[in-house]
Amino acid sequence: MLRTWRWTLPALLCAAAVVLPAFHPGPVARFPVAVAPPLLLLGVGLVGSRRAHPVERCGWRWISIGAGFLVVGFVIFHVLWLQQGHAVFPSLAEPFFAAGWLALIVGLYRWGRGAERTLLSDSVVLALGPGLVVLSQLVRPLLARADSVEIFVTAAFPLLDLVLLVMVVRLGLQGRMRIASVALISTGCGLLLVGDTLLTVLYRVTDTPLVYWFGAPTSIAVSLMAASGLVHPAGARYGTEFGDRIRLTLLPIAACVPPVALFLQGLAGHPVDWQLLGGGSVLMAVLITFRLRGALRTMGEQSRRLRREASTDHLTGLANRRSLAGDLDQVFAHQEFPRVAVILLDLDHFKAVNDRFGHERGDQVLQACSAAWAGVLHRRHPRSTLYRWGGEEFLALVHEVGVRDALSLAEALREATPIPNTVSAGVAVLRPGETTGDLLARADRELYRAKQSGRDRVCV
Protein backbone atom coordinates (compact mmCIF):
# COMPACT_ATOMS: atom_id res chain seq x y z
CA MET A 1 0.00 0.00 0.00
CA LEU A 2 1.29 3.45 -0.85
CA ARG A 3 2.62 5.54 1.99
CA THR A 4 0.81 8.84 2.49
CA TRP A 5 3.81 11.08 1.89
CA ARG A 6 4.07 9.88 -1.69
CA TRP A 7 0.88 11.80 -2.37
CA THR A 8 0.89 14.56 0.24
CA LEU A 9 4.29 16.11 -0.52
CA PRO A 10 3.62 16.65 -4.28
CA ALA A 11 0.06 17.77 -3.42
CA LEU A 12 1.37 20.39 -0.99
CA LEU A 13 3.81 21.68 -3.61
CA CYS A 14 1.00 21.95 -6.16
CA ALA A 15 -1.22 23.82 -3.69
CA ALA A 16 1.62 26.20 -2.77
CA ALA A 17 2.29 26.96 -6.45
CA VAL A 18 -1.36 28.00 -6.88
CA VAL A 19 -2.07 29.77 -3.57
CA LEU A 20 1.20 31.53 -2.68
CA PRO A 21 1.31 34.03 -5.60
CA ALA A 22 -2.01 35.49 -4.38
CA PHE A 23 -0.35 36.68 -1.17
CA HIS A 24 3.31 37.06 -2.12
CA PRO A 25 3.77 37.51 -5.88
CA GLY A 26 7.41 38.54 -5.53
CA PRO A 27 10.49 36.43 -6.35
CA VAL A 28 11.46 35.78 -2.73
CA ALA A 29 8.23 33.98 -1.91
CA ARG A 30 8.08 32.27 -5.30
CA PHE A 31 11.65 30.93 -5.17
CA PRO A 32 11.16 27.97 -2.76
CA VAL A 33 7.90 26.98 -4.47
CA ALA A 34 9.62 27.01 -7.88
CA VAL A 35 12.78 25.17 -6.80
CA ALA A 36 11.20 22.53 -4.51
CA PRO A 37 9.47 20.47 -7.30
CA PRO A 38 12.61 19.94 -9.42
CA LEU A 39 14.56 19.19 -6.23
CA LEU A 40 11.99 16.53 -5.38
CA LEU A 41 12.23 15.15 -8.95
CA LEU A 42 16.03 15.16 -8.63
CA GLY A 43 15.80 13.07 -5.45
CA VAL A 44 13.34 10.65 -7.08
CA GLY A 45 15.67 10.27 -10.07
CA LEU A 46 18.72 9.60 -7.90
CA VAL A 47 16.86 6.98 -5.85
CA GLY A 48 15.42 5.40 -8.99
CA SER A 49 18.85 5.22 -10.64
CA ARG A 50 20.05 3.07 -7.73
CA ARG A 51 17.01 0.89 -7.08
CA ALA A 52 15.38 0.53 -10.49
CA HIS A 53 15.63 -2.37 -12.89
CA PRO A 54 18.83 -2.19 -15.00
CA VAL A 55 16.76 -1.47 -18.13
CA GLU A 56 15.28 1.65 -16.47
CA ARG A 57 18.37 2.77 -14.56
CA CYS A 58 19.83 4.84 -17.40
CA GLY A 59 16.48 6.59 -17.88
CA TRP A 60 16.36 7.56 -14.22
CA ARG A 61 19.88 9.04 -14.47
CA TRP A 62 18.83 11.26 -17.35
CA ILE A 63 15.71 12.33 -15.45
CA SER A 64 17.83 13.35 -12.45
CA ILE A 65 20.19 15.30 -14.78
CA GLY A 66 17.20 17.08 -16.27
CA ALA A 67 15.87 17.95 -12.81
CA GLY A 68 19.30 19.36 -11.91
CA PHE A 69 19.24 21.65 -14.96
CA LEU A 70 15.75 22.83 -13.98
CA VAL A 71 16.96 23.71 -10.47
CA VAL A 72 19.80 25.81 -11.90
CA GLY A 73 17.42 27.48 -14.36
CA PHE A 74 14.95 28.47 -11.63
CA VAL A 75 17.76 29.83 -9.47
CA ILE A 76 19.06 32.03 -12.32
CA PHE A 77 15.53 33.13 -13.22
CA HIS A 78 14.73 34.32 -9.69
CA VAL A 79 18.12 35.99 -9.18
CA LEU A 80 17.55 38.02 -12.36
CA TRP A 81 14.03 38.80 -11.17
CA LEU A 82 15.44 40.24 -7.94
CA GLN A 83 18.08 42.24 -9.79
CA GLN A 84 15.81 43.68 -12.48
CA GLY A 85 12.71 44.12 -10.37
CA HIS A 86 10.58 42.23 -12.88
CA ALA A 87 10.49 38.82 -14.52
CA VAL A 88 12.99 38.67 -17.40
CA PHE A 89 12.07 36.76 -20.53
CA PRO A 90 14.03 35.54 -22.37
CA SER A 91 17.02 35.31 -20.03
CA LEU A 92 20.11 33.25 -19.22
CA ALA A 93 17.83 30.77 -17.48
CA GLU A 94 16.23 29.62 -20.74
CA PRO A 95 19.21 27.45 -21.92
CA PHE A 96 19.11 25.58 -18.60
CA PHE A 97 15.36 25.06 -18.88
CA ALA A 98 15.81 23.79 -22.44
CA ALA A 99 18.62 21.46 -21.33
CA GLY A 100 16.37 20.19 -18.53
CA TRP A 101 13.51 19.37 -20.93
CA LEU A 102 15.92 17.68 -23.35
CA ALA A 103 17.37 15.53 -20.56
CA LEU A 104 13.87 14.57 -19.42
CA ILE A 105 12.99 13.63 -23.01
CA VAL A 106 16.13 11.48 -23.31
CA GLY A 107 15.39 9.85 -19.94
CA LEU A 108 11.84 8.91 -20.91
CA TYR A 109 13.06 7.69 -24.29
CA ARG A 110 15.74 5.49 -22.70
CA TRP A 111 13.20 4.30 -20.16
CA GLY A 112 11.09 2.88 -22.98
CA ARG A 113 13.90 1.04 -24.77
CA GLY A 114 12.81 -2.12 -26.51
CA ALA A 115 9.47 -0.73 -27.68
CA GLU A 116 8.26 -1.68 -31.13
CA ARG A 117 8.90 0.92 -33.81
CA THR A 118 5.25 1.57 -34.55
CA LEU A 119 4.75 2.69 -30.97
CA LEU A 120 6.66 5.93 -31.57
CA SER A 121 4.62 6.91 -34.65
CA ASP A 122 1.38 6.15 -32.80
CA SER A 123 2.56 8.29 -29.88
CA VAL A 124 3.35 11.16 -32.26
CA VAL A 125 -0.18 11.02 -33.69
CA LEU A 126 -1.80 10.87 -30.24
CA ALA A 127 0.18 13.83 -28.90
CA LEU A 128 0.25 15.86 -32.11
CA GLY A 129 -3.53 16.08 -32.51
CA PRO A 130 -4.35 18.17 -29.42
CA GLY A 131 -0.87 19.74 -29.39
CA LEU A 132 -1.37 21.33 -32.82
CA VAL A 133 -4.58 22.97 -31.66
CA VAL A 134 -2.84 24.50 -28.63
CA LEU A 135 0.08 25.73 -30.73
CA SER A 136 -2.26 27.13 -33.36
CA GLN A 137 -4.47 29.01 -30.94
CA LEU A 138 -1.81 30.42 -28.62
CA VAL A 139 1.69 30.30 -30.11
CA ARG A 140 0.97 31.12 -33.74
CA PRO A 141 -0.47 34.64 -33.09
CA LEU A 142 2.62 35.55 -31.08
CA LEU A 143 5.16 34.56 -33.71
CA ALA A 144 4.09 37.37 -36.02
CA ARG A 145 4.78 39.98 -33.32
CA ALA A 146 8.06 38.67 -31.88
CA ASP A 147 11.63 39.30 -32.89
CA SER A 148 13.98 36.49 -33.98
CA VAL A 149 15.18 35.60 -30.46
CA GLU A 150 11.67 35.71 -29.04
CA ILE A 151 10.38 33.61 -31.93
CA PHE A 152 12.92 30.91 -31.14
CA VAL A 153 12.18 30.92 -27.40
CA THR A 154 8.43 31.22 -27.89
CA ALA A 155 8.31 28.21 -30.20
CA ALA A 156 11.02 26.12 -28.52
CA PHE A 157 9.44 25.40 -25.16
CA PRO A 158 5.95 24.39 -26.35
CA LEU A 159 7.60 22.16 -28.95
CA LEU A 160 9.81 20.58 -26.27
CA ASP A 161 6.70 20.07 -24.12
CA LEU A 162 5.04 18.37 -27.08
CA VAL A 163 8.02 16.02 -27.61
CA LEU A 164 8.02 15.26 -23.88
CA LEU A 165 4.31 14.40 -24.13
CA VAL A 166 5.09 12.05 -27.05
CA MET A 167 7.62 10.18 -24.89
CA VAL A 168 5.11 9.88 -22.05
CA VAL A 169 2.39 8.57 -24.37
CA ARG A 170 4.90 6.05 -25.75
CA LEU A 171 5.64 4.76 -22.25
CA GLY A 172 1.94 4.57 -21.48
CA LEU A 173 1.16 2.56 -24.61
CA GLN A 174 4.13 0.30 -23.94
CA GLY A 175 2.82 -0.59 -20.49
CA ARG A 176 6.09 0.30 -18.75
CA MET A 177 4.40 2.32 -15.97
CA ARG A 178 1.37 1.97 -13.76
CA ILE A 179 -1.82 3.65 -14.94
CA ALA A 180 -1.62 6.12 -12.03
CA SER A 181 1.91 7.12 -13.06
CA VAL A 182 0.88 7.55 -16.69
CA ALA A 183 -2.08 9.74 -15.66
CA LEU A 184 0.07 11.93 -13.40
CA ILE A 185 2.91 12.52 -15.82
CA SER A 186 0.55 13.00 -18.80
CA THR A 187 -1.36 15.65 -16.86
CA GLY A 188 1.95 17.30 -16.01
CA CYS A 189 3.04 17.40 -19.67
CA GLY A 190 -0.31 18.83 -20.69
CA LEU A 191 0.05 21.55 -18.06
CA LEU A 192 3.57 22.30 -19.32
CA LEU A 193 2.30 22.73 -22.87
CA VAL A 194 -0.56 25.02 -21.86
CA GLY A 195 1.35 26.79 -19.08
CA ASP A 196 4.43 27.61 -21.14
CA THR A 197 2.26 28.94 -23.94
CA LEU A 198 0.07 31.09 -21.66
CA LEU A 199 3.09 32.38 -19.79
CA THR A 200 4.61 33.50 -23.07
CA VAL A 201 1.36 35.22 -24.01
CA LEU A 202 1.06 37.09 -20.71
CA TYR A 203 4.63 38.35 -20.84
CA ARG A 204 3.66 40.21 -24.02
CA VAL A 205 0.07 41.34 -23.46
CA THR A 206 -0.15 42.24 -19.76
CA ASP A 207 1.85 43.63 -16.86
CA THR A 208 -0.71 42.65 -14.28
CA PRO A 209 0.03 40.32 -11.36
CA LEU A 210 -1.71 37.56 -13.32
CA VAL A 211 1.67 36.80 -14.82
CA TYR A 212 2.88 35.41 -11.48
CA TRP A 213 0.23 32.72 -11.40
CA PHE A 214 1.28 31.30 -14.71
CA GLY A 215 4.53 30.01 -13.30
CA ALA A 216 2.28 27.61 -11.39
CA PRO A 217 1.71 25.12 -14.26
CA THR A 218 5.43 24.44 -14.49
CA SER A 219 5.73 23.84 -10.74
CA ILE A 220 2.62 21.66 -10.72
CA ALA A 221 3.83 19.71 -13.77
CA VAL A 222 7.23 18.94 -12.25
CA SER A 223 5.54 18.00 -8.95
CA LEU A 224 3.28 15.54 -10.82
CA MET A 225 6.33 14.07 -12.58
CA ALA A 226 7.96 13.52 -9.21
CA ALA A 227 4.74 11.99 -7.89
CA SER A 228 4.63 9.60 -10.87
CA GLY A 229 8.14 8.47 -9.97
CA LEU A 230 7.08 7.93 -6.37
CA VAL A 231 4.09 5.74 -7.22
CA HIS A 232 5.78 3.91 -10.10
CA PRO A 233 7.63 1.24 -8.06
CA ALA A 234 4.44 0.12 -6.27
CA GLY A 235 2.21 -2.49 -7.87
CA ALA A 236 2.38 -4.41 -11.11
CA ARG A 237 2.43 -2.80 -14.53
CA TYR A 238 -0.40 -3.40 -16.93
CA GLY A 239 0.15 -5.47 -20.04
CA THR A 240 0.63 -4.28 -23.59
CA GLU A 241 -2.83 -5.57 -24.56
CA PHE A 242 -4.36 -2.77 -22.52
CA GLY A 243 -2.08 -0.29 -24.29
CA ASP A 244 -3.16 -1.72 -27.67
CA ARG A 245 -6.82 -1.15 -26.79
CA ILE A 246 -6.04 2.44 -25.80
CA ARG A 247 -4.24 2.94 -29.12
CA LEU A 248 -7.13 1.64 -31.19
CA THR A 249 -9.52 3.90 -29.29
CA LEU A 250 -7.52 7.13 -29.25
CA LEU A 251 -5.74 7.10 -32.63
CA PRO A 252 -8.87 7.93 -34.70
CA ILE A 253 -9.89 10.61 -32.19
CA ALA A 254 -6.45 12.28 -32.20
CA ALA A 255 -6.29 12.16 -36.00
CA CYS A 256 -9.63 13.99 -36.24
CA VAL A 257 -8.73 16.84 -33.85
CA PRO A 258 -6.82 19.15 -36.31
CA PRO A 259 -9.36 18.77 -39.18
CA VAL A 260 -12.22 19.42 -36.75
CA ALA A 261 -10.40 22.52 -35.46
CA LEU A 262 -10.01 23.74 -39.05
CA PHE A 263 -13.71 23.16 -39.69
CA LEU A 264 -14.75 25.01 -36.53
CA GLN A 265 -12.49 27.95 -37.40
CA GLY A 266 -14.13 28.28 -40.80
CA LEU A 267 -17.61 27.75 -39.35
CA ALA A 268 -17.08 30.53 -36.80
CA GLY A 269 -15.75 32.92 -39.44
CA HIS A 270 -12.28 33.12 -37.91
CA PRO A 271 -9.08 33.11 -39.99
CA VAL A 272 -8.29 29.52 -40.89
CA ASP A 273 -4.80 28.37 -39.80
CA TRP A 274 -4.23 26.20 -42.83
CA GLN A 275 -0.43 26.24 -42.50
CA LEU A 276 -0.19 24.69 -39.03
CA LEU A 277 -3.42 22.74 -38.71
CA GLY A 278 -3.55 21.79 -42.40
CA GLY A 279 0.11 20.78 -42.49
CA GLY A 280 -0.30 18.89 -39.24
CA SER A 281 -3.32 17.04 -40.64
CA VAL A 282 -1.31 16.01 -43.69
CA LEU A 283 1.59 14.87 -41.49
CA MET A 284 -0.75 12.79 -39.31
CA ALA A 285 -2.38 11.29 -42.41
CA VAL A 286 1.07 10.29 -43.70
CA LEU A 287 2.01 8.75 -40.33
CA ILE A 288 -1.25 6.81 -40.15
CA THR A 289 -0.81 5.64 -43.75
CA PHE A 290 2.68 4.31 -43.03
CA ARG A 291 1.34 2.78 -39.81
CA LEU A 292 -1.43 1.01 -41.73
CA ARG A 293 1.05 -0.14 -44.36
CA GLY A 294 3.30 -1.56 -41.64
CA ALA A 295 0.33 -3.27 -39.99
CA LEU A 296 -0.71 -4.86 -43.29
CA ARG A 297 2.88 -6.00 -43.91
CA THR A 298 3.03 -7.51 -40.43
CA MET A 299 -0.28 -9.28 -40.98
CA GLY A 300 0.98 -10.65 -44.29
CA GLU A 301 4.21 -11.92 -42.70
CA GLN A 302 2.24 -13.54 -39.88
CA SER A 303 -0.13 -15.15 -42.37
CA ARG A 304 2.77 -16.53 -44.41
CA ARG A 305 4.47 -17.78 -41.26
CA LEU A 306 1.29 -19.51 -40.11
CA ARG A 307 0.87 -21.15 -43.52
CA ARG A 308 4.50 -22.23 -43.47
CA GLU A 309 4.17 -23.64 -39.96
CA ALA A 310 0.94 -25.41 -40.93
CA SER A 311 2.67 -27.11 -43.87
CA THR A 312 6.06 -27.82 -42.24
CA ASP A 313 7.12 -30.42 -39.72
CA HIS A 314 8.69 -28.55 -36.79
CA LEU A 315 11.14 -31.35 -35.88
CA THR A 316 12.75 -32.14 -39.23
CA GLY A 317 11.92 -28.98 -41.17
CA LEU A 318 10.41 -31.09 -43.97
CA ALA A 319 7.07 -30.53 -45.61
CA ASN A 320 4.30 -32.37 -43.77
CA ARG A 321 1.37 -34.54 -44.80
CA ARG A 322 -0.93 -31.56 -45.35
CA SER A 323 1.55 -30.06 -47.81
CA LEU A 324 1.65 -33.28 -49.86
CA ALA A 325 -2.05 -33.08 -50.67
CA GLY A 326 -1.65 -29.62 -52.19
CA ASP A 327 1.45 -30.64 -54.15
CA LEU A 328 -0.28 -33.68 -55.64
CA ASP A 329 -3.27 -31.54 -56.63
CA GLN A 330 -0.92 -29.17 -58.47
CA VAL A 331 0.76 -32.07 -60.27
CA PHE A 332 -2.57 -33.40 -61.58
CA ALA A 333 -3.79 -29.89 -62.43
CA HIS A 334 -0.87 -29.25 -64.82
CA GLN A 335 -0.57 -32.72 -66.42
CA GLU A 336 -3.23 -35.15 -67.56
CA PHE A 337 -1.01 -38.15 -66.84
CA PRO A 338 2.05 -37.11 -64.81
CA ARG A 339 5.02 -39.46 -64.49
CA VAL A 340 5.37 -39.49 -60.74
CA ALA A 341 6.39 -42.08 -58.18
CA VAL A 342 5.89 -42.31 -54.44
CA ILE A 343 8.48 -43.85 -52.10
CA LEU A 344 7.13 -44.57 -48.62
CA LEU A 345 9.88 -45.02 -45.99
CA ASP A 346 9.50 -46.45 -42.49
CA LEU A 347 12.35 -46.71 -39.99
CA ASP A 348 12.70 -50.26 -38.68
CA HIS A 349 12.20 -50.92 -34.95
CA PHE A 350 11.99 -47.20 -34.18
CA LYS A 351 9.80 -47.78 -31.12
CA ALA A 352 12.66 -49.76 -29.57
CA VAL A 353 14.95 -46.72 -29.97
CA ASN A 354 12.47 -44.54 -28.05
CA ASP A 355 11.93 -47.16 -25.37
CA ARG A 356 15.63 -47.83 -24.82
CA PHE A 357 17.26 -44.40 -25.30
CA GLY A 358 14.38 -41.97 -24.81
CA HIS A 359 12.42 -39.66 -27.07
CA GLU A 360 15.23 -37.12 -27.34
CA ARG A 361 17.47 -39.75 -28.93
CA GLY A 362 14.56 -40.78 -31.15
CA ASP A 363 14.16 -37.19 -32.37
CA GLN A 364 17.87 -37.07 -33.20
CA VAL A 365 17.53 -40.27 -35.26
CA LEU A 366 14.59 -38.79 -37.19
CA GLN A 367 16.53 -35.62 -37.91
CA ALA A 368 19.67 -37.46 -39.02
CA CYS A 369 17.81 -39.86 -41.30
CA SER A 370 15.63 -37.17 -42.87
CA ALA A 371 18.71 -35.01 -43.56
CA ALA A 372 20.51 -37.93 -45.21
CA TRP A 373 17.52 -38.83 -47.41
CA ALA A 374 16.88 -35.21 -48.38
CA GLY A 375 20.52 -34.92 -49.46
CA VAL A 376 20.21 -37.99 -51.74
CA LEU A 377 16.99 -36.65 -53.29
CA HIS A 378 18.50 -33.24 -53.88
CA ARG A 379 21.51 -34.72 -55.68
CA ARG A 380 19.70 -37.24 -57.84
CA HIS A 381 16.30 -35.60 -58.41
CA PRO A 382 16.32 -31.88 -57.47
CA ARG A 383 12.59 -31.54 -58.24
CA SER A 384 11.68 -34.28 -55.75
CA THR A 385 10.32 -33.50 -52.29
CA LEU A 386 10.65 -35.39 -49.01
CA TYR A 387 7.72 -35.25 -46.57
CA ARG A 388 7.28 -36.23 -42.94
CA TRP A 389 4.36 -38.59 -43.35
CA GLY A 390 3.85 -39.18 -39.65
CA GLY A 391 5.81 -40.68 -36.74
CA GLU A 392 8.76 -42.55 -38.17
CA GLU A 393 7.27 -42.65 -41.70
CA PHE A 394 8.51 -40.44 -44.54
CA LEU A 395 7.37 -40.07 -48.14
CA ALA A 396 9.31 -39.01 -51.25
CA LEU A 397 7.40 -37.61 -54.23
CA VAL A 398 9.57 -38.09 -57.35
CA HIS A 399 8.81 -36.50 -60.72
CA GLU A 400 9.51 -37.79 -64.22
CA VAL A 401 10.63 -41.33 -63.31
CA GLY A 402 9.72 -44.84 -64.30
CA VAL A 403 9.66 -48.02 -62.21
CA ARG A 404 13.36 -48.82 -62.68
CA ASP A 405 14.54 -45.29 -61.74
CA ALA A 406 12.18 -45.16 -58.76
CA LEU A 407 13.50 -48.52 -57.50
CA SER A 408 17.11 -47.36 -57.92
CA LEU A 409 16.38 -44.16 -56.00
CA ALA A 410 14.66 -46.08 -53.20
CA GLU A 411 17.70 -48.35 -52.86
CA ALA A 412 19.94 -45.27 -52.68
CA LEU A 413 17.78 -43.88 -49.88
CA ARG A 414 17.94 -47.20 -48.02
CA GLU A 415 21.72 -47.31 -48.30
CA ALA A 416 22.04 -43.67 -47.15
CA THR A 417 20.25 -44.40 -43.87
CA PRO A 418 22.68 -43.65 -40.99
CA ILE A 419 24.02 -46.78 -39.30
CA PRO A 420 22.86 -48.64 -37.19
CA ASN A 421 19.36 -47.65 -38.34
CA THR A 422 17.63 -49.45 -41.19
CA VAL A 423 14.59 -48.57 -43.27
CA SER A 424 11.93 -50.42 -45.22
CA ALA A 425 10.50 -48.82 -48.37
CA GLY A 426 7.49 -49.30 -50.58
CA VAL A 427 7.53 -47.86 -54.13
CA ALA A 428 4.57 -47.14 -56.39
CA VAL A 429 4.59 -45.47 -59.82
CA LEU A 430 1.38 -43.82 -61.04
CA ARG A 431 -0.67 -45.94 -63.47
CA PRO A 432 -3.13 -44.60 -66.05
CA GLY A 433 -6.55 -43.96 -64.50
CA GLU A 434 -5.28 -44.02 -60.92
CA THR A 435 -6.07 -41.36 -58.35
CA THR A 436 -3.66 -40.06 -55.74
CA GLY A 437 -5.44 -42.20 -53.17
CA ASP A 438 -4.84 -45.32 -55.27
CA LEU A 439 -1.16 -44.41 -55.67
CA LEU A 440 -0.61 -43.91 -51.94
CA ALA A 441 -2.51 -47.09 -51.08
CA ARG A 442 -0.29 -49.16 -53.39
CA ALA A 443 2.87 -47.64 -51.89
CA ASP A 444 1.55 -48.47 -48.42
CA ARG A 445 0.90 -52.10 -49.45
CA GLU A 446 4.42 -52.41 -50.83
CA LEU A 447 5.85 -51.00 -47.59
CA TYR A 448 3.86 -53.55 -45.59
CA ARG A 449 5.22 -56.31 -47.86
CA ALA A 450 8.79 -55.08 -47.29
CA LYS A 451 8.31 -55.25 -43.53
CA GLN A 452 6.72 -58.68 -43.72
CA SER A 453 9.65 -59.88 -45.85
CA GLY A 454 12.21 -59.15 -43.15
CA ARG A 455 12.62 -55.33 -43.20
CA ASP A 456 15.60 -53.32 -44.49
CA ARG A 457 14.51 -53.77 -48.10
CA VAL A 458 12.57 -52.14 -50.93
CA CYS A 459 9.42 -53.57 -52.56
CA VAL A 460 7.83 -52.28 -55.77
Q: What is the pLDDT of residue 170?
A: 80
Instruction: Evaluate whether 439 touches 428 at the Cβ level (below 8 Å).
Output: yes
| Calpha distance 439→337 (Å, rounded) | 13
Q: What is the pLDDT of residue 417?
A: 92
Q: What is the pLDDT of residue 201?
A: 60
Strand blocks (E) in 249-374? 319-320, 340-347
CA trace torsion 447, 450, 454, 458 (10° rounding): -110
Report residue 404: phi and psi, to 5°: -65, -45
| 82-140 tens-digit pLDDT | 787 776 767 788 889 889 889 988 888 887 776 666 777 777 777 777 777 766 766 56
| Residue 94: active-site member | no
Q: What is the largest CA-CA distance in the chain?
A: 110
How crowded is the C-beta side of 391, counted as CA atoms within 13 Å?
12
Q: For residue 343, what are the β-bridge partners? A: 396, 427
Active site residue: 336, 392, 393, 411, which one?
A: 392
- Residue 85 contacts by C-beta under 8 Å, 6 or more apart in sequence? none
User: Where do the domains of the chain lie?
Assistant: 5-307, 319-459
| Calpha distance 406→412 (Å, rounded) | 10
Strand blocks (E) in 2-91? none
Starting at the earlier edge strand, list the strands of the sheet with 423-429: 319-320, 385-390, 393-399, 340-347, 423-429, 458-459
| Residues with pLDDT less than 70, the chain | 1-7, 9-11, 14, 16-29, 52-55, 87, 89, 114-117, 134-135, 137-155, 175-177, 195-215, 229-244, 246, 333-337
CATH class of 319-459: alpha beta
